[in-house]
Structure 1
Amino acid sequence: MSNGSAKQKVIQSIKDVTNILVTVSSSPSVDELSAALGLTIFLNKLGKHATAVFSGDIPPAITFLNPDKTFEQTADSLRDFIIALDKEKADHLRYKVVDDAVKIFITPYRTTITDKDLEFSQGDYNVELVLALNVENSESIDTALTAHGKILHDATVVTITAGDVKSGLGSVDWHESNASGVSEMVVELLDDLKTPKVTLDEQMATALLTGIVAVTERFSNSNTSSKVMTTAAELMAAGANQQLVVSKIAESEVEDEPQKIEKIEEKSPEKEEASEDKTEEVEKDEETVHADGTLSISHEKKGDVDEVAEQTAKEKQEESARIAEEKLAKIEPIKEEPQAEEEKPSEKIVSKGELSFEETPLMGGTLNATTTQAAEDKI
């Protein structure tokens, strides 16, 4: 099915029904929520009974659009409320709006009617057409609808998808691979649905421009095209407040930054255990394999600033100790030299009446060891 044919089927499906449900995925982007908001407001202005359902948290980027006035948290409001009464007791009935109340008047037929004669119950979901924006399948649709599969079963389902998202949820999928997002596609859709009395107003145009500014990152990423710029200009001509949109998108990005940092820093015990189990895999990833088969192992320090500083100080301390040990190893140990013999005290014992020959006479002359030696010296 061509894109043009699919688009015409979406247009015809909208024209053929009255009760329309507009929904998104379980984790929609600002683009998708903005598109759902602008589309729902336009359909109601067109005379349809359109309801947008989103059960998640509204992102800060679109709070200035008052989405709470359009989005429903559940699908309960789509069900009829039934009041039953035995027809034999009722002659005719009418209703009248009095102040803020709707009063139902039942004229009894030859009897008296009390509250015990009335039965109250919930009817079926009053949905004829489901318009799902960027929803791939029934599993990815908003949780408010996954609990009520009867809605998708009984109603006609058509999807509008952009970029890489393709859907098999409904009978018709209008897909534009070159579109920046669904907000851009909805602008094109509403241009075909508008009448002389029903056209884009400031509220719708601002909502759709918010989606385009968000998905293009303020017209700075690859989603930005000449068609996107033309569409944005058309929305501004319809009353969209471009300066307000850009400022709110910028504010939301600043608010989201601390939350992103906290999510990165927070680690659950399960994640820590998983990271320990994957240590070996991480180490392998850090090894670079060259063409010759050699491996380059990364020695880059890991951790925050304090951890890296501690690792660096420890490495320097270990390096200093290693250098000191090497220097000490090169120094030869000092050997103890033996004392000279003359320095050693004499241990020789001199017998009584003899003098040691080593003794030097104090008054001069010749020192004889024995009388026999003295006699020989005189000869």
Structure 2
Amino acid sequence: MSGAASTENMLIIGASLAGAKAAQALREDGWDGPIELVGAEHDLPYERPPLSKGLLQGKEERDKVFVHESGSWYVENRVGLRLGRTATAIDRENHRVRLDDGTELPYGKLLLATGSAPRRLNVFGGDAKNLSSFRTLEDSERTKAQLIPGSRLTIIGAGWIGLEVAAAAREKDVEVTVLEALEQPLLRVLGPEVGARFAALHRAHDVDLRLGVGVDSFTLQDVDGVEQATRVRLADGTELEADHILVAVGAAPNTGLAEAAGLKVANGIVVDATLRSCDPDIFAAGDVANAWHPFYGEPIRVEHWANALNQPKVAAASMMGVTDLKYDRLPYFYTDQYDLGMEYVGHIPSSGYEQVVFRGDPASGEYMAFWLAGGAVLAGMNVNVWDVVDDVRALILSRAVVDVARLQDPAVALADVATA
């Protein structure tokens, strides 16, 4: 692809990890024409995993979260970086995008990397100004400042963000209550068998984890002329006081721009395996892309760092006219909570899984878990067991039917667990 040159504008909406990596991939693959990168935030493009991990824990410095260390990279690589600007409309017929300041930018090819936004609770008081969400660098820095020893933090939602913030807060001696509507943490991702392990982990660290509870409303109080939520009222009438309340009930893809433009939207912007939408000149990558996955034979949308890191390479190639490069990497994510380090690779398709097999003793804190259907491994997770992700990935891609007894035995190499 080297040597490509054009005056046609490559326009990227969303100055996040996916957007910045797409601009980088275009330049690395030889695109010499104009590139414009537009982002709603005022900070340089940054990576999100440190926000709820190292940065929040105080183990990582702020300047380490940025995709490129300084704004000079964008200048040196002739990437027009427009921060603090939001795209408001796409004119597909005339190949132009309108921004909130009235500017109109032309495009030859357009990449939508608009990410996702935290969901709000649709209950009385759910729009109170002091209810926190956790998505941006600003959110992370505000939350970090609130982690004062002895203070009370209530987190609504026991997903990845909720649990990682809970772990960081407990390490600062903050009193933490986590409220989850489902029967286990991470139930939709990991199922009840493994979700229960995370419940036990947090309770062992004195988190007041309440499962199967619903939030009825928030009690509002006038503070300096502003209504603020000071208590959480549960469906059973229980009221919880808190110094700070974090709402972490998931995120919704930012599809409004695409939908208004008439693109196909269903749980994200629908794209094929090359990340092209129903419009041949518009592509999507990252959290907002619901992409056809060749291995699973169905579209999947992944809200994790590895997707935002790796999809842009394919999107950039497709924008430059390459038609045979498809995004077929298996989903991957990781988490750090207390002394637990975990990696997960694979995906549970819409048809679900049939059983979970543990390798090693979960009570020991070092184990693996595998989700199976039809005797084959769909996904695998390693907890405080390292350098095995490639082996797990190979096992999944092989579609081999495994011998469960051998899969359970840590003494048997993963390459040798298939049935004869």
- TM-score norm. by structure 2 comes to 0.24
Select the structure of larger CA radius of gyration: 1
- TM-score norm. by structure 1 comes to 0.26
Q: Which structure shows the higher helix fraction? A: 1
